Structure 1
Amino acid sequence: MKKKMLLVFSVVVSAAALFYVPAKADGIIIPEPPICDPCPIPSPMSQLEIRYHHVTVTIEDQIATTYIDQVFYNPNDWDVEGVYVFPIPVDAAVSDFILWMDGKPVQGEILDADQARQTYEEIVSTLRDPALLEYADMGALKASVFPIPPMDERRIELEYTQALTAENGLVRYIYPLGTEKFSIEPLENVSITVNVTAKQPIRAVYSPSHPISISRESDYQILAGYEEQDVLPDQDFALFYSIGESEAFHLMTFRDPSDPKDPDGFFLLLLAPAIKESVRAIPKDVLIVLDRSGSMEGEKFEQAQQAVRYILNKLNPEDRFNLVTFSTAVEMYANDLQPVSEEDDAVHWLNRLRAEGSTDINRALLEAAYLVDSERPTYLIFLTDGLPTVGEVESEKIIANLNESSPGNLSLFAFGVGYDVDTYLLDSLAQAHHGSSTYVVPGEPLDEILSAFYNKISAPVLTDLQLDFDDLVTADIYPHPLPDLFIGSQIAVVGRYRQGGTFDVMLSGLVNGSRQNFVYPDQEFEEGSPDLEGSIRSLPSLWAMRKIGYLLQQVRLIGPDREIIDEIVRLSIRYGIVTPYTSYLVTEPLPLGAEEQERIASEEFNKFNDQATLPTFGRKAVEEAEGQSSLANADAVASAPVEALGKVRTIGSHTFILSDRVWIDTMYDPDQMEVIE
């Protein structure tokens, strides 16, 4: 008993420390006690909903102007009034605050870190809610909010300017976005739009915190956007970008020296090719293998034809191509690879095709593999909407046949249209040939998706990538294998490292058939990251997401393996990754020690064994394939499900779960505690 009580005490201390880590949040209204007598007394922090939260950011030469538009809604039968508090990042040089409420200017008070801490502590002592202590050590903007009538709204707008800083060659912008504790319901809509302009070319653009879309308006301007509906944002929005003429190679590292069970560090590498006239795309070969069986008839085939026409029109001058179509029989546009000058004739041939017959996938892929030139990078775009029905129909044999027939320079990109596709076949082909699989569900525009994909791979500059870390011991590097590098694209590589220190990192790849090496000297891998507040503290979770996604794909494609299942369970609990496949954090009783994890792993192993006989086609199979691919290729930590937001907190490499009003570190195992006399 003494052992257990000692452990609970240590866990409570850890939870208290959790709330003192500055986690920055967007503007919030701290309500006063309800203005009614008598009336029900709700939890003071749950009196208001946030209808929407829109942020527009303009960054010109590292000067950022942020405009915020929020609407707070009072769903109660009484007035709600309070104090609006907007935490200011501790390292932000903020000026020119402007605050409006319902379109009218409001006088706000800017508090320094000491004044803000006193304000937060006063609120916490009144509300007995420790969550606000996350904002300690930060400044704040504070303003009174007039009463919000029942079933009414209050619109708050805020604009401020700040000078941005750079770290490790990257300009960093952070926007406080953490409303899950202060809205009763998920936000109907949250969006952040960032317009960046610079006098030098903008290179790598990356958000480790949120999935963003990036539009390159020119070499000197980019638009980055994030938007979600019905969501409770649980972390700050972070955007990094680099400027300059040279190729981008940026390293970010994170290491928690206080973790004795897992002291290895985490790293993130951003790779982006140079954007200049002297950089020429490597001549490539493009093979399009197109399903024209009867099930493709109608809009699907018309959209596929439109996408193929687009690809042919976008080929580079020194590229070559060929078209392979298949139904009951296989038909090729030409017997060998053709120069770009044959585009018009190929389009006429394509336009005459009709969708009819069965589906001979095996022969179509073998005919395409026969055309591959081992001296040039070759991209095979394979599109189908069904299962193999003639010729070889066994997925395992189709995969083996292509593996035996194609050289190592072939990259295969599979597109499954609809739900009647063999996800096992498409994913296995893509994984074996350095590519990816994409699923186009009913209602999605096939032509737009395929065209957008080709834009990303149209101009390769480095293929068959390899990384060498000198004497640094590294492990679990994702994506695996590394994809090719294209003009206008970037690769985010995550992994683990053993010891810290300064090391040379070498990136190598093929350029026109010859291997070239690029050495980046004196890259520093941190010995320790004592300040867990940094903008890269989500790096452990990002790494864990990618590894879990990769392992789930292995289980689905290769079959259940107990060691892999054990690792999936351990990583999910350790790093707070809540997915449809790893929901133990919100469904299992706590704490989740070694015995509990062993039980969960056994149950999951049996579940995967039962699922091994399920069909690899159909809506469920497609959704599962998409979900696992999203995890394995995540560029940002996905938002946790709504049911997990009030229960799970991740700080650096530590995950805490709320149980009976106590935050418990998932590293806590009651069976392994030592008694201290």
Structure 2
Amino acid sequence: MITSIATLRPEECEPVPDAGLGALFTERGNLPLESVDVTAAVSGLIAGVEVVQGFRNPHDVALEATYVFPLPDRAAVTAFRMEADGRIIEGILKERGQARADYDQAVAEGRRAAIAEEDRPDVFTIRVGNIVPGERVTVHLTLNQPLPYEDGAATFRFPLVVAPRYIPGTPLDGDQAGGGWSPDTDAVPDASRITPPVLLPGFPNPVRLSLAVSVDPAGLELREIRSSLHAVLQEGTTVSLQPGERLDRDFILRLSFGTSTSLALVPDAGDGEEGTFTLTVVPEQARGAATPKDVALVLDRSGSMTGWKMVAARRAAARIVDTLTGGDRFAVLSFDTVVEAPEGLGPGLSPASDRNRYRAVEHLARLEARGGTEILAPLEQAVALLADSARDRVLVLVTDGQVGNEDQILERVGARLAGMRVHTVGIDRAVNAGFLGRLAGLGAGRCELVESEDRLDEAMEHIHRRIGAPLVTDLSLKADGLDLVPGTVSHLGSIYPGVPLTVLGRYRGDASGALTVHGLDSAGQPWERRVAGSRTDSPATRAIWARARLRVLEDRYAAGDHSLEEEIVGISLTYGVLCRFTAFVAVDSTVVAEGGPGHRVIQPVELPSGWESPVVTAAPMMLTSMAQPQAGAPAPAAPGAAPRFTAGGTGGAAWNMASGTTRGKMRPSGPVPSGARELPRAEIEEELKRLRAAGSLGAADRLRYLADLGSRLAALAVYLGGHAELEALAADLQTGGDVEALWRRAVDGLEALSRSGERRPFWKR
């Protein structure tokens, strides 16, 4: 399936004198997004950020503009407002379905409205409705984000483009969730919301970008400020982008300063009966003792890794293999649409001998980018290899993370990562940091992001230390004079060399007391550190804790625990922090466009810097699927096929990629809490379709078919954590008897289950 995308040559466009830098005029009209302005204030290890997006309607009818954009994956979005025609409309945070209903009603009635929604931890969508002809509308987002810190430097990373993502799965029938280039699939039910059209390479810069960061070390000694991907101007401790930069790569600022062990207690505004704490424990510089370990290295060689990313990924993987010692065992899995291992190594874990490490490095040196990013299968293989090991188990994933089925992956492997250390190495200038951070968090590991080959050596030194034994494990927390709120303390993980332990949580009562961290050092001896608290005024801490708590709950929801939806919505609304189940909506009371918008535009985004042009190369990003097609499904694109270009009506120059078909949705293994999962309507409907198709079989064959169907339904009931109707139908079909009566029972039962399983997912409500 291909969505129609407008295609314009740069020579067909001419500047509009009054429209500002980068605005374009075409017969189809301007692109609606004129400007993006980012202003950040860093104070110690926290950044407060305001993002202002400016939209203009160049058409002669009212416009609805949609913009899909990234934000830092750990950021807490706490405020939203719309400004138009001298009016300021503050956004209200509501349950997502209610916010959408309010927005849709306002737009249909001809009133201005705007809505901000989260689709992934780092992918957001803004819609602005009823921008009248010639009008400019701005929307403002306020957010706070923590800065990761290690080896004496904090990192302020602000993403600026949503990169094209590989979308696996079978296209779904019915209405699409969004207007992107990919159809929704069973593996990525909201694919059409996270796949905005992409500007053709070389298209004139359509958006004016400004970004400025002021740095207050907050009492710490600031030694150096470095920008790794952009040319910047620096005046004192304020850094800003040079004019003319494009929204095509992350903005990265590294701030070198020292930090220290501390416990900050921040009372809530108002009565101060509760508050938020941030505990920071800076580890000693000693390295952990070397212990034999089992390492599974998973390397992405898909088409989106073309160019410098493949070179960096090969180097990174080879460096990891070289760090192994003779007492270790390892496996190397490289993947695109298929999974491959080095020749000469066994199917399981191999001793890390010189010969085996040479074979692995030789295999890595031959890898070239190709194919689709079928990341689930190699992760499952790696988890299976490490599952029964009694040693220290380490899984390392090297990838750009550009996939859309993050929730499916977490559902399949998330629970099985417990007890393993999962380290992710993200290689890209517009990396999917949200997904890689979620994986590393579930596996009590670290996420290292590499934006250039120049940064690789520094990053690999970090990874080398992570793969070795942690300094302190089995961490626990004990309060002294501080009343902690149960269930609010973040995951403790382990302590690694050069990486401070950061723990957030909530407390009741006075802002006084101490916390003691207990654990075991690398020699297995007891270890503890007591930290006295000090009262601090840092309002952003409360929002940052809430966002971290929501992220944990959302990951558990993605892994199958759908009972958490009410709790997620409650925390989001209580603390005023946007999440996937809520949305900010701003609605004006004035009617400005009778009948609603006459034109709708999805803003195309930039091709990420470092991604090779699909016009130039025969092995481009390869977001097309290349698994074997199912019966009746359209054939997938051949390896190396370029994205296809189509013409249509979005109002800007963009290129589009075909989406083929892969294997269907799979269910995870392992125990599932009772009642944790919803009945999968799509699978029930598929069983019903196959049952009707088998109606012409003979009586004996139909009885066998019904028995097999019963066994599948019984397995599905176990997967769901128990389901009375499924279990009853499965038992009847496996008992045997009159084939005609059983056949009617099967059809009626599946039809009833199909109706009862119908529930719109939260992103379509």
TM bucket by the smaller chain?
0.3 to 0.5
Q: Which has the higher contact order (CA 8 A, sep 6+)?
A: 2
Of Structure 1 and Structure 2, which has the larger fraction of its residues in strand?
1
Q: Normalised by the size of structure 1, how large is the TM-score? A: 0.41
TM-score normalised to structure 2 length? 0.37
